[in-house]
């Protein structure tokens, strides 16, 4: 069992790992640049209800979370609107991310972890092809096994030697640049569709949303690969035209944030080192939400570490395998679907939605991060309606989704470099063909 763990960054996955490890009696130190009161983002994100009981996490005060309202998906050009109703067991919580981070931090501290706020991690310490600690802004070197929880732009990941084999940055289609802002709410009466998500808004490769939160209006305008003020300004005008509740006074946020929207890294471990959360790209590719995935990964990593005799990569590979077989393979399939959707003309997407090839139930599955599937009976019924061309396109995408999902599940059981390279190549071949 490893005895000294350093968690770089107070991300959700890192904090859950810290709690689990401290509960095992392992010495854990979390190094976080921000103060406790300014952890994470001061906005609401969605999270599965079940994680609270599954990981014994206390709910924050009631004013900081509520049941998620139903999404309404708006097709390109505002041609079709589909309101997606979730069953009670599939309804998420919308929770304040900053408050939730504080709950996890306090929980880790009570379990015995040490959290040092105001400490900036600036580089890994590497010896003999292993990470043995981290350097921080005051020059102190913290020795121990390192869990990287520094987010999408992790400086630790990006400063690793190339010999570690860990990707330093995502491809262009793997980062979502999202303008997120909260505006005042006007005095109009609430609409039925309070949570609208606009697919390929104004022809952009991404989505926008407008959410009426009663006391404010939550706006997101995002594109994959790039974003700019001109597009944001045009999209904001369009959102105001379709959402009378959206006012003009900015309350908070109002910046562009980078969010991973791709499948997890196919190598997220090295000697003395493991990535977790956004720096390992654990968000759901269609949604950009990764809280539940990160918490799951934190528990998996803690279990592997607590049972490992040393911190060699072959021992840590069990973490990688478990991540892919728990949610990573599914994220692979969803990433393929996301890339396929963004590659289609708006007219084709409108035809698919307008012809009901994708039903309300299908939308419900996708909106909670699930895989889109059509049974043979469903395909036959849709074919009888005469949608052969659209069905062919959709069926081809679904077959490749299923193929890459199975490849993800076939991750090598043991750390053998040649087999891992071969596995990764199979994934890249399908991803690059989208």
Give the domain ranges of the chain.
Answer: 4-64+96-168+263-324, 173-260, 335-432
Enumerate the H helices of 113-258 as residue ranges. Answer: 155-158, 229-242
Residues 6+ apart with CB under 8 A from 251: 182, 183, 184, 216
What pLDDT, on a 0 to 100 scale, did the predictor assign at position 31? 98
What pLDDT, on a 0 to 100 scale, did the predictor assign at position 384? 45
* Residues facing residue 207 across a β-bridge: 199
What pLDDT, on a 0 to 100 scale, did the predictor assign at position 194? 86
State how far Cα 51 lies from the chain centre. Answer: 15
What pLDDT, on a 0 to 100 scale, did the predictor assign at position 132? 96
**Domain at 173-260: CATH code:** 3.30.9.10
What pLDDT, on a 0 to 100 scale, did the predictor assign at position 107? 98
* Residues facing residue 176 across a β-bridge: 224, 259
* Residues facing residue 209 across a β-bridge: 197, 220
What pLDDT, on a 0 to 100 scale, did the predictor assign at position 382? 54
Q: Which of 181, 329, 310 is nearest to 263 (CA)?
A: 329
CATH superfamily of 4-64+96-168+263-324: FAD/NAD(P)-binding domain (3.50.50.60)
Residue 286 is classified by DSSP as: T
How many residues are given for the chain? Answer: 434
Does this chain's domain 4-64+96-168+263-324 share its CATH topology with 173-260?
no
What pLDDT, on a 0 to 100 scale, did the predictor assign at position 392? 77
Per DSSP bridges, beta strands 246-260 and 175-185 are antiparallel
What pLDDT, on a 0 to 100 scale, did the predictor assign at position 349? 87
Per-block mean pLDDT, blocks of 10 residues, the chain (434 long): 90 98 96 97 92 94 89 91 80 93 98 98 96 94 95 94 86 87 95 90 94 94 94 97 97 94 95 97 83 96 94 96 97 92 89 76 73 59 59 84 96 97 96 87
CA distances from 35 to 9, 61, 119, 146 (A): 11, 20, 9, 21
Sheet holding 217-224, edge to edge: 81-84, 71-74, 195-199, 207-212, 217-224, 175-185, 246-260
CA-CA distance, 18 to 352, in Å (whole number)? 45
Neighbours of 306 (CB within 10 A): 15
What pLDDT, on a 0 to 100 scale, did the predictor assign at position 285? 81
Residues 6+ apart with CB under 8 A from 155: 121, 122, 123
Q: Residue 181 in contact with residue 246, Cβ under 8 Å?
A: no
Q: Residue 71 in contact with residue 197, Cβ under 8 Å?
A: yes
Say how many CA atoms lie within 13 Å of 96 toward its Cβ. Answer: 16
């Amino acid at each position: 069992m490893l005895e000294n763990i350093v968690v770089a960054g107070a991300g959700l996955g890192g904090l859950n790992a810290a709690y689990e490890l401290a509960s095992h009696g392992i010495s854990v130190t979390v190094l976080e640049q921000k103060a406790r009161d300014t952890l994470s983002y001061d906005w609401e994100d969605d999270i599965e209800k079940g994680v609270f009981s599954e990981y014994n996490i206390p709910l924050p005060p009631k004013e900081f979370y509520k049941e998620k309202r139903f999404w309404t998906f708006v097709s390109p050009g505002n041609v079709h609107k589909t309101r997606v109703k979730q069953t009670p067991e599939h309804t998420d919580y919308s929770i304040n991310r900053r408050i939730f981070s504080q709950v996890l931090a306090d929980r880790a501290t009570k379990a015995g972890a040490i959290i040092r706020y105001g400490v900036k991690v600036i580089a890994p310490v590497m010896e003999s092809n292993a990470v043995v600690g981290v350097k921080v802004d005051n020059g102190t070197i913290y020795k121990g096994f390192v869990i990287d929880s520094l987010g999408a732009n992790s400086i630790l990941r990006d400063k690793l030697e190339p010999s570690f084999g860990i990707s330093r940055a995502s491809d262009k289609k793997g980062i979502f640049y999202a303008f997120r802002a909260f505006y005042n709410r006007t005095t109009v009466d609430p609409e039925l569709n309070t949570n609208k998500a606009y697919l390929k808004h104004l022809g952009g490769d991404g989505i926008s949303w407008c959410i009426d939160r009663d006391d404010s209006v939550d706006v997101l305008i995002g594109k994959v690969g790039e974003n700019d003020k001109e597009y944001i300004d045009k999209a904001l005008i369009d959102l105001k035209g379709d959402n009378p509740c959206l006012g003009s006074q900015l309350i908070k946020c109002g910046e562009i944030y980078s969010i991973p929207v791709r499948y997890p890294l196919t190598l997220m471990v090295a000697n003395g080192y493991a990535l977790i959360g956004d720096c390992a790209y654990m968000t759901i590719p269609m949604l950009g939400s990764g809280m539940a995935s990160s918490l799951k990964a934190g528990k998996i990593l803690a279990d592997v570490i607590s049972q490992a005799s040393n911190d060699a990569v072959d021992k840590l590979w069990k973490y990688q395998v478990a991540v892919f077989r728990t949610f990573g393979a599914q994220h692979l399939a969803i990433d393929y679907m996301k890339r396929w959707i963004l590659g289609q003309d708006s007219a084709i997407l409108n035809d698919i939605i307008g012809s009901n090839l994708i039903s309300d139930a299908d939308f419900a599955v996708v909106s909670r991060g699930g895989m889109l599937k059509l049974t043979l009976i469903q395909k036959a019924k849709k074919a009888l309606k005469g949608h052969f061309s659209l069905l062919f396109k959709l069926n081809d995408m679904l077959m490749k989704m299923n193929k890459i999902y199975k490849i993800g599940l076939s991750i090598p059981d043991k750390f053998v470099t040649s087999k891992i390279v071969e596995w990764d190549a199979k994934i890249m071949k399908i991803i690059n063909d989208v």
